[in-house]
Structure 1
């Protein structure tokens, strides 16, 4: 089997490539990336050493796909920042997340390949989520009983309303989903859409606006300043990248069972954490550190936890919790301290 991964040198794409090659050494895995994100170039050597083909290309350029052959496309390329477009960079965001998707789909049609698209929980509108009733404890927000479709004590399901504003990033991903729908209907494309929350694990180069679990661990480790925006009681569920691989592996090899569907995928309530709770975990593992508080940012959510009920019914559920994931990240940082210091400590 030939599996083509866009964004293949990024955190998610490279982890999927490495895990696929380890489990299926006879598969031809192609990692495709423009290496724009800082740190992604560090993954290229490892990919090649493992027998994974690396192609330096850009999803925005349709000609970069012309010589490639594959049976499955995992579309993991994106400008992934929720803050993208706020202070410029809107053209790159839209070119990558929309035009890049179209180029990827056209290549998949040409190859008659199946498509697994990594979307985001940010397709759900901020005002819908932030306007719900929450209970407030000393360390976190919790969902209050809300008589609203798609909302339960388990979190948010695929039935949550899509009416409202969601950030430019979320809009590009939701638009991508609609484009995929049209390709499925008009051209017979075979596709699966996964809406993930926060994905984390070893190998992630976290930033303030994307990859906060790694950012927190790294800034504690390298003794860099940290700020909490708002109360720190905001909650996210954490999906370990290896649990994501387990799902993608299942979908590749039982594609028909998942085809033409959308799935919310995440760590779920049992693998959720607030910023205050994460900070306490880091203090326990790495020692005390003073953290500043700043005003809440306009694009922040009070709460997001994935209701995995739909995907659970088809045989997948996450196995790793927040503590497991945080310890994996810290082990990776310690093991690669010299190589990572210029990224995290600069």
Structure 2
């Protein structure tokens, strides 16, 4: 059952009226963003299906911490009517709800399209018709750039791949051609372009973040999504980690507080950021290969992860690093948290989360 609307809203008001609406707000990035906004005194409506495992824990944490600042609507972005109702009169909209796994998109491309592409169109139409002055921020992905480079464009240095062409030393910027690969890349790419086009055609204040790999507290990572947390959880619980490919593939990873900072800056200064796409990742200073991350986890935790290997997966990029200069020039943003510090913070939170989960199970058995 949906939580009641906060009492500071007039009777009969639309659920989102005067609030910042965050679709997918009970998820990993969503819950961290909502906590930040509520701490700043904002009223927030979370729209979420609670389909991902354990996200109800995030929702409960937000309600306990922020009380009536948080309202909740259990709705699906595929339901255009529900989106229209939830977003009507909203102060701002942050659209994070999505099907997030490449593997799932390959298995069920129709659902992937309906959630990511049609769902985003439903959100945009709801804003256009019911909150046309509201800033709209959209969580896109680096997968809109496709596979980028084949292995023959790489060279191996130590435990990682690097491009042979030094032109990529600062990473890939937003002028990189879009080249959707995998149903997930296609559905998110369609959504990415619709968000920008609703700014051009209808004058909405829209901005797109093409995100690299995020990690941090409140992330219940799985093999298909949230791989940094998944690696750390598997290591701490003694489960085997499967590396798809050879493990030398590289990503720039970004701690969640830094991502939240980018979103809040955009909401505060949407006029300078509207109509643009921004790469959002850790950048060259926060790159790590899969093998390097496993070594770092062993160093931090004292536990050597158990691994095996499998074939490369469709659309997997052997190397991706964000050039975030455009975001930095426009907003003053930069990544503040190092990979080691971020992993240590995530490990600390996971220890607390596992302890709380164990206590809850013991209480249920009692």
Does the alignment reach a TM-score above 0.5? yes
Alpha-carbon shift at residue 90 of structure 1 (Å): 2.1
Separation in 2, partners of 1:165, 1:18 = 33
Task: Within 5 Å, give how 1:121-132 maps onto structure 2.
Answer: 121-126=142-147, 128-130=148-150
1:34 counterpart residue number? 49
Q: What is the match of residue 242 of structure 1?
A: 257
For the residues of structure 2 that align with 1:177 and 1:154, how far apart are their CA atoms? 23
Q: Spell out, residue by residue over 1:258-296, the C-alpha distance to the aligned partner (whole angstroms, 9 max, x if none).
A: 111111111001111111111111111222243212232
Distance 1:18 1:129 in 2: 38
Instruction: State the Cα deviation string for residues 141-200 of structure 1 (Å, max 9, x = none).
Output: 112225xxxx520111111122x4411111111111222233223322110111011111
Alpha-carbon displacement from aligned partner over 1:319-339 (angstroms, at most 9, x marks no partner): 012112211211111011145
Output aligned runs, 1:204-243, within 5 Å.
204-243=219-258
Q: TM-score, normalised by structure 2?
A: 0.87
Q: Secondary structure at the match of 1:34?
A: coil
- CA separation of 1:135 and 1:202: change in aligned 2, threshold 3 A: same
* Aligned: 1:192 with 2:207: yes
Q: Which residue of 1 aligns with 2:309?
A: 293
* CA deviations over 1:24-45 (Å, ceiling 9, x no partner): 12x1111110011111111121
Specify the alignment match of 2:196 in structure 1.
Answer: 181
Using the alignment, how far apart are the partners of 2:221 and 2:357 within structure 1?
11
Deviations 1:54-83 (A, max 9, x none): 111111112223443311100101101122
- The 2-side partners of 1:224 and 1:2 are apart by 42
Q: What does residue 343 of structure 2 align with?
A: 326
TM superposition score normalised by structure 1: 0.91
Counterpart position of 2:280: 265
2:21 maps to 4
Match of 2:160 in 1: 140
SS at match of 1:57: coil
Q: Contact 2:196–2:207 (CA<8 Å) still a contact in 1?
A: no
Distance 2:103 2:84 in 1: 32
How many residues end up aligned between the 2 structures? 333
Higher helix share: 2
Q: What is the alpha-carbon root mean square deviation over aligned residues?
A: 1.8
Structure 1, residues 99-145: CA drift from partner, whole Å, max 9, x if none?
Answer: 1111111121211222011111000021x333672221121011222
Specify the alignment match of 2:10 in structure 1.
none
Q: 2: CA distance between counterparts of 1:82 and 1:76?
A: 16
**Equivalent residue for 1:83?**
103
SS at match of 1:155: coil
User: Do the aligned partners of 2:241 and 2:305 also contact (CA within 8 Å) in 1?
Assistant: no
CA drift of 1:233 comes to: 0.8
What corresponds to 1:103 in structure 2?
Answer: 122
In structure 1, C-alpha distance between the alignment counterparts of 2:93 and 2:245, rounded to whole Å? 39
- Quick one: distance in 2 between partners of 1:341 and 1:300? 35
Tell me what 2:141 maps to.
120
Could you tell me which residue of structure 1 aligns to residue 183 of structure 2? 168
Task: Tell me the secondary structure at the aligned position of residue 60 of structure 1.
Answer: coil
Do residues 64 (structure 1) and 82 (structure 2) align? Answer: yes
Distance 1:77 1:273 in 2: 27
